[in-house]
Chains A and B, each alone.
Chain A
Amino acid sequence: MMKKAFFGLSKPRVLYPPSQEVFPAPKSITPPSQVTLLIEGSLSAVDPEVLKKGDAVKTGQKITLSESAGHYAISSVTGVVSDLSLYESDFGKTYVAVSIDAEKTDQFDETFEPLAGEPTLASAQAYLMAVPGSPDFSVFSDSEKTIDTIVVTAEDQDILVATNRFAATNRAEALKKGVGILKQITGVERVVLAIPRDRFQSYGHINAELKAVDIAYPSANPLAIMHRVLETTVPAGKCPEDMGVVFFTAEAVAAIGEAYETGRVPVKKILTLIHKDGSQSLLEVRIGTPIRTLVAACQESLSEMDRLIVGGPMTGRALYTENHPVQPDTDAIMLQDKADVPLVSDYPCINCGQCVRVCPAKMPVNMLVRFLEAASYQTGADEYDLYSCIECGLCSYVCVAKIPIFQYIRLAKYELSRVQTAEANND
């Protein structure tokens, strides 16, 4: 665990690890005997004509719940669908977990190949939204939003995660191709590559505008990039898409480049495993591989009361089971020993002001948390800038009273969105 600096005259700074020029080759994990793919939706949305137990699937085949469903997954193995079950995630989101028993040899699905010669937005929307990095193309067909800028983030949002940095460094050719395809299919002229300044020289050949991100966390956060790098502040409660900017990770862009280059939808994902001692290693895995397999393959072990996290230490999500699969947007898996788990407390705010100093959005966190603790979410939003939060987690990280401030903020946003949905449905 990272400790604070001895001196604390100014605000605490958490730095991204220094840039690495050469990465060791990622460790390749053998495809497991069973993979699980998560598709957003519920079991009642599954059309038995389209998806049922016993269906044979090929590697790279698109799997949907029904003909009309917008969400889909790409099978990462060749095999037979063995089970469909419901998976409930945070904040009431539900997924259908599709388990596939894998065969030893891969047979590649060939529906995408004919489309690959002539890249179009339609083919990207139909096949590439579940590639590693989960690029979201749906925004381009939203008539209310006009996108004029695509930002490719070559730096990972969370600390200790090196997935996108690896993609940008070691897959520069695929990245270049991906940038070209993005420009071609979306018609967007301005593509910005957001990277640390010391890596500028390696990207001259990529046909994108280079912009520097700072080395202090959370400067690679999309909203922080909007504010500091693009100098277009997103108004509270809006998203970058409303401002005409869409974000893709370097890994997603490289995957797009690879897909059109090879005619196959990529099914292997690079992810960063953060070990219990804080060291990192890069792994190459099939999407859908259970985390249990990765942990075992890296000679790590998890025991009772440890913590298993998807994502990095600041913004990740703790899991309750090792059977959770790797998803297209799983950039990191973090293992934390029970001795290193910091606990939260129910102490009140002592008004020390650390959170106010550290907040990159300049929010009055000390006041906000008082209202959120009392469940006055609307007051928090109206008077204390709840919606300015860029969700970096630094407030909880520095809190002297160990209040789970970040959790309160996300809970407040979720509760308010529920109220708003209910009100909209009543009209």
Chain B
Amino acid sequence: MISQKKFIVSHAPFWHCGNSISERNYHIMLAAVPAVLMGIMTYGIPALAVVSLSVSTAMMWEYLFNRMAKRPISIGDGNAALIGLLLAMLMPATMPWWAVLVGTFIAIFIGKQIYGGIGANPFNPIMVAVAILMVAWKNLFDFDAMLANFNFSFLTISPLVALKAFGAHATTQFNPMDLFIGRQVGGIGATFGLGLVAGGLYLMLRGFIRWEISLSFLVGIAVTAALFHMANPIKYGGPMIHLLSGYTLIGAFFLATEDSSSPVNPVPMLIYGTLGGVMTVLIRDIGIYPDGVVFAILVINLVNPLLDKIRPKAIGKVA
């Protein structure tokens, strides 16, 4: 009896399906790779530099915060790297190094860690960072100016800026197929629609993102844009241009679906996504910004806790 074997004693269940946070984050990064590669092919070494700097500094900030706060080192879960990668995908290839550094700092420190780290952030950290950068240094996200020194084989004018400045007629010069395969100016990883859709489909099918959010976001954009276009076809662009330009696709599949700041119940997910789509088009069509995805996602993050109160009645719930 004295030399008794020691067994592991713990609570049921004794099985686990094998999901993990790092698996989730690495798969989201994997799904983003096609769009990033296309960005690097289009913009060359500067794009690669921005991506590398962004991923590495995001991880560095995470590590620094862990050390400062005397918390377990959490860069292994892949979340910081994912934030860095997605943030780089939204930036123009010529982003100055200090802006990348500031962006990842905002995302990791102010967007994520001060709330308690992963799972506790009320807003999407990437959106917080981009919003602050956009407001503080407006010209950094003016893609036309930032990418002026490149020689492209396609129209070097951002479709949404053209739409805002010259009305729906200006968008007729864009071929939807060109836009879809990334022949437009924009963020490093935000322009290659085909890659983003493929990545998004992969994530939805594998269950790493919640399909309700992505699809309702796209439906929200398409329907609202169609309504505006019907009301004034000269001023407002149609659904196609809205779906294929700006941050729409990356927003639908990679940004609005961020776990911590989005709802989990079926009806709230649909409202959340649709609301995001509607807000995006409202900002694009009647706001002052050419693209509204960033602010639209921040707004829906804000209403997320309220939306998630709409939940199915638990079985056996009294009253």
Residues of A within 8 A of B (CB): 1-4, 6-9, 12, 223, 227, 233-238, 302-309, 311, 313-322, 334, 336, 338, 341-342, 344, 347-354, 356-357, 360-364, 366-367, 385, 387-388, 390, 393-394, 396-402, 404, 406-407, 410
Contacts and interface: CB of A to CB of B under 8 A. Distances in A.
B286 interface: no
Contact of B20 (A321, A362, A400): A400
Interface stretch (B2-10, B53-61, B131-139, B163-171): B2-10
A307 B7 contact: yes
A349 B208 contact: no
- Please indicate which of the listed interface residues B4, B5, B9, B314 has the most CB atoms of chain A within 10 Å of its own CB: B314
24 contacts: A4-B18, A223-B316, A304-B6, A306-B7, A307-B14, A314-B13, A314-B15, A315-B12, A318-B12, A347-B21, A347-B119, A348-B118, A348-B119, A351-B262, A352-B24, A352-B264, A354-B19, A361-B314, A361-B315, A364-B314, A393-B12, A396-B13, A397-B17, A399-B16
Contact of B21 (A336, A344, A401): A401
- Please indicate which of the listed interface residues A233, A305, A351 has the most CB atoms of chain B within 10 Å of its own CB: A351
A221 to B, nearest CB: 12
A402 B16 contact: yes
Given A3-B18, A348-B120, A362-B313, 9 more contacts: A6-B206, A305-B6, A307-B9, A350-B260, A354-B19, A357-B264, A388-B316, A399-B16, A404-B10
B8 A305 contact: yes
Contacts of B312: 362
Contacts of A349: 119
A394 B11 CA distance: 13
B13 A302 contact: no
Given A3-B18, A354-B19, A397-B17, A366 B264 contact: yes
Contacts of A317: 12
Interface string B237-264: 0000000000000000000000110101
A233 B15 contact: no
Interface of B: 4-21, 24, 77, 116-120, 204-208, 210-211, 259-260, 262, 264-265, 308, 311-318
A210 B21 CA distance: 44
A400 B18 CA distance: 8
B5 A406 contact: no
Contacts of B210: 353
A366 B20 CA distance: 16
B19 A400 contact: yes
Contacts of B15: 1-2, 313-314, 342, 397
B315 A308 contact: no
Interface of chain B: mostly helix, strand, loop or mixed:
loop
Nearest to B207: A8
Contacts of B207: 7-9, 354
A320 B11 CA distance: 12
A106 B6 CA distance: 35
- Please indicate which of the listed interface residues B13, B20, B314, B318 has the most CB atoms of chain A within 10 Å of its own CB: B13
Nearest to A361: B315
A314 B208 CA distance: 24
Contacts of A9: 204-205, 207, 211
A388 B205 contact: no
A311 B12 CA distance: 10
A233 B315 contact: yes
Contact of B5 (A304, A336, A351): A304
Task: Rank and list the top 4 A-B pairs by shortest CB-CB distance, nearest first.
Answer: A8-B207, A353-B264, A342-B16, A385-B314
A1 B16 contact: yes
Given A4-B19, A302-B5, A353-B264, A236 B316 contact: yes
Contact of A364 (B17, B211, B311): B311
A303 B132 CA distance: 57
Nearest to B7: A308
A270 to B, nearest CB: 22
B259 A350 contact: yes
Given A303-B5, A318-B7, A348-B116, A8 B21 contact: no
Contacts of B259: 350-353
A407 B14 CA distance: 11
Contacts of A7: 205-207
A114 to B, nearest CB: 43
B11 A363 contact: no
Contact of A351 (B13, B264, B311): B264
Contacts of B116: 348
Contacts of A236: 314, 316-318
Contacts of A6: 206
A21 to B, nearest CB: 27
A306 B8 contact: yes
A285 B144 CA distance: 80
Contacts of B21: 347, 350, 400-401
A397 B7 contact: no
B79 to A, nearest CB: 8
Contacts of A234: 316
Nearest to A393: B13
Contacts of B7: 302, 304-308, 318-321
B310 to A, nearest CB: 11
